[in-house]
Structure 1
């Protein structure tokens, strides 16, 4: 089985979330359950039900993060052989939409750390798949829901 690709920063973010869940969220939920139990009848206790539901979410997320991190393949783009200037996993790429002239900047990351609001696109996304292996100045075509889009690669950064 191959590992789950993560950037160094992505792995650090997941590790920080895991630490927060274990040291802050889990104890808070345990206290909330204890307080709700102290109120008596659990069959009609909304606070108890809410605390138990929150506990299920927290424990599920902890298990999910531990699974991801135990199978993670952490890739540092600064340590990859990028001398030839190809786009690789972890690279930050500035592209220009040839139809609209808009300039976009994306970092290619693993599926679990993708967040389009922060310009982090998944390695398995159509745009990232089209960009991997290409060079600055290349034009790539991407089949998007709105139709075929063409992008010119303006710059590549491996930080």
Structure 2
């Protein structure tokens, strides 16, 4: 199944993969060698920890390789900004608090709440999809709370 990513997201994953393969992997190999040199492996906590770290690292490398291989880059020039969709930035007004918020809807692996990027699979994003300027999005959160937003602006 294809993973949709932005060019920026794909580039970040490639940089991370290179870091893991060229820097982190040799470090862990060195740690394992040093722990092995300390003798009895059956009671060597350093060796066990290094082997566990190696396993986690190899899983992350494998996952990144699979995502990169299966990635489909989203062409932002073909996006329709007349309605809320993937990669659109939405300016909202919370109808209860009157506070304004701005979110960009992104693929799961690119979400960064501090940067205002929310996963397309969050309840808020799902509630916003397909809405147009002036629409109200009534969203029920997993904890049972309800939010109501007015769509003020949609942009890239």
User: What's the TM-score, normalizing by structure 1?
Assistant: 0.87
Matched residue of 1:14: which SS?
helix
Report the Cα offset of residue 65 of structure 1.
0.8
**Structure 1 range deviating more: 21-30 or 133-142:** 133-142
What is residue 101 of structure 2 aligned with on the other side? 104
What is residue 150 of structure 2 aligned with on the other side? 152
What is residue 22 of structure 1 aligned with on the other side? 21
Report the Cα offset of residue 118 of structure 1.
3.3
Task: Return 5+ residue gaps in structure 2 as ranges.
Answer: none
1:19-64 Cα shifts (integer Å, max 9, x gaps)? 1111111111011111111122211211111111110010000011
Q: Spell out the pairing of 1:32-111 with structure 2 (5 A cutoff).
A: 32-77=31-76, 79-82=77-80, 85-111=82-108
User: What's the TM-score, normalizing by structure 2?
Assistant: 0.89
1:79-120 Cα shifts (integer Å, max 9, x gaps)? 1242x6222211121211110122222111112222334322
Matched, 1:143 2:144: no
**Structure 1 range deviating more: 23-32 or 100-109:** 100-109
What is the root-mean-square deviation in Å for CA atoms of aligned residues? Answer: 1.7
Looking at structure 2, the residues matched to 117 and 37 of structure 1 have their Cα atoms a distance apart, in angstroms, of: 42
Task: Return 5+ residue gaps in structure 1 as ranges.
Answer: none
What is residue 116 of structure 1 aligned with on the other side? 113
Paired residues, number: 155
